[in-house]
Structure 1
């Protein structure tokens, strides 16, 4: 049984005590598997450079990191919130050097108190991970919400590719985010693209967001298409570990440095 008291006052006390954790929520306008692959490699790159990394799979519909790594079948954070298991039972070390937690909200019949309990449990989790980079593999629901409020307050990065459909979907996602969360910066990460291609995608999105939404976008960099990404995945390894000299490895190390020492607010704006 979980040893936490999940009443609202305790959750608030835990949030206010000590330093505020670093949380970055990733959303995607790319193919189903692209975000999971990117986050595994980003997490491994951050871990390899000396950072403690926790990835929380908060996907309700998509192919998240927990499923990709095969740790989605057991209990998750929702079961901790319901006091059906302890928090340490749902934190899984990944061979790539980071830890993974499955939120496990898929197809759940929520009790009226589940949302509050889950939010408090997430706050306890990230507080326990103070000093780490907490990455959330997330989705923004059609009704304009996140599974836990902390995601709305976190840094938010949207992954996009060079395809017209992905760019259109990414812009629509930024528009929905700004409508529900208000005017604030959002990061843009372009994958499957050369630096020149990524610059065109970012510049066009940034110009449109500034002009039509009054929203500032920040460039979080790019990752090129690279056959070594798939080769590393087939070996169950991160590309930075299996093929450290590959172009994707160089890009992920650069990306890890940007996330470790900067953030959405410090990304390059148009």
Structure 2
């Protein structure tokens, strides 16, 4: 088995030699399976455009990407942190063109500390790192880098989803302080998505002093379900579908430099 120390040293070398990767954590205010399906298609769209993409499944309760693709049966990043596995043994290539890593659930303070350091090393392994995330019962993320990453919240047009998304933003703001969040609206046309975003942005600005950024929209599309039944991404199976066009546009946004983040003093800085 390759040593963890070697993998860590290699990751640190890459960190020093090249630009920092873009790390984006996705949370959802939609039904649990929606986020996994969306991230598979976003990852495939980014990979199809020539980006090196790594998706980290940090879900403990929700239906995460690793489980969705059947890549959650082996060792996790937690086993790497415990030096029970090598880093290259938990990075699984997916047929959609990206790689997937299951994170695992830390069970102690020592696990949290080690997992945080190991995740920092893992994040140097790709240009774009997408985290399929969820908040713990205490309102915290399992590793610090998720807190400092860009955070995008997936929401639909339903009143319940919009309410849940606003509650999630309020909870994050209480835990992390004032900072911007991205909003991605799924199951909606561009016009419908803009209405949802505008209303959320107005409320977040007025009552939380928080700035939101519109990341885009993905329409409801039967071809998404057809592609999923085939075990493929919609951009690959049905490249001319409306959802495929939307995912390519969305991938273009995430391939650009990171959206502004607020520093501790409230001044704009660049996120991970």
Give distance in 1, aligned partners of 2:97 and 2:118.
Answer: 24
Task: Summarize the alignment of residues 1-270 of structure 1 with structure 2, pairs less than 5 Å apart.
Answer: 1=1, 3-5=3-5, 17-18=16-17, 19-105=19-105, 110-129=107-126, 132-265=127-260
Give distance in 1, aligned partners of 2:170 and 2:109.
Answer: 30
Instruction: Return the offset for 1:262.
Output: 4.0
Instruction: Return the offset for 1:143.
Output: 1.2
Give distance in 2, aligned partners of 1:240 and 1:222.
Answer: 15
Aligned residue pairs, count? 259
Instruction: Return the offset for 1:17.
Output: 3.2
Question: Contact 2:26/2:151 (CA < 8 Å) preserved in 1?
Answer: yes
Question: Contact 2:155/2:165 (CA < 8 Å) preserved in 1?
Answer: yes
SS of residue in 2 equivalent to 1:33: helix
Question: Contact 1:126/1:134 (CA < 8 Å) preserved in 2?
Answer: yes
**Distance change >3 Å, CA 81–CA 14, structure 1 → 2:** farther
Instruction: Return the offset for 1:142.
Output: 3.0
In structure 1, stretches of 5+ residues that fail to align are none
**Superimposed CA distance per residue, residues 10-64 of structure 1 (whole angstroms, 9 cap, x where no aligned partner):** 8xx7797343221000000000100000000000000001100000000011000
SS of residue in 1 equivalent to 2:60: coil
SS of residue in 1 equivalent to 2:129: strand
**TM-score normalised over the length of structure 2:** 0.90
Which is further off, 254-263 or 233-242?
254-263
Question: Contact 2:4/2:85 (CA < 8 Å) preserved in 1?
Answer: no
Give distance in 2, aligned partners of 1:85 and 1:228.
Answer: 39
In structure 2, stretches of 5+ residues that fail to align are 262-272
Give distance in 1, aligned partners of 2:15 and 2:2.
Answer: 21
**Superimposed CA distance per residue, residues 200-219 of structure 1 (whole angstroms, 9 cap, x where no aligned partner):** 10000000000000000000
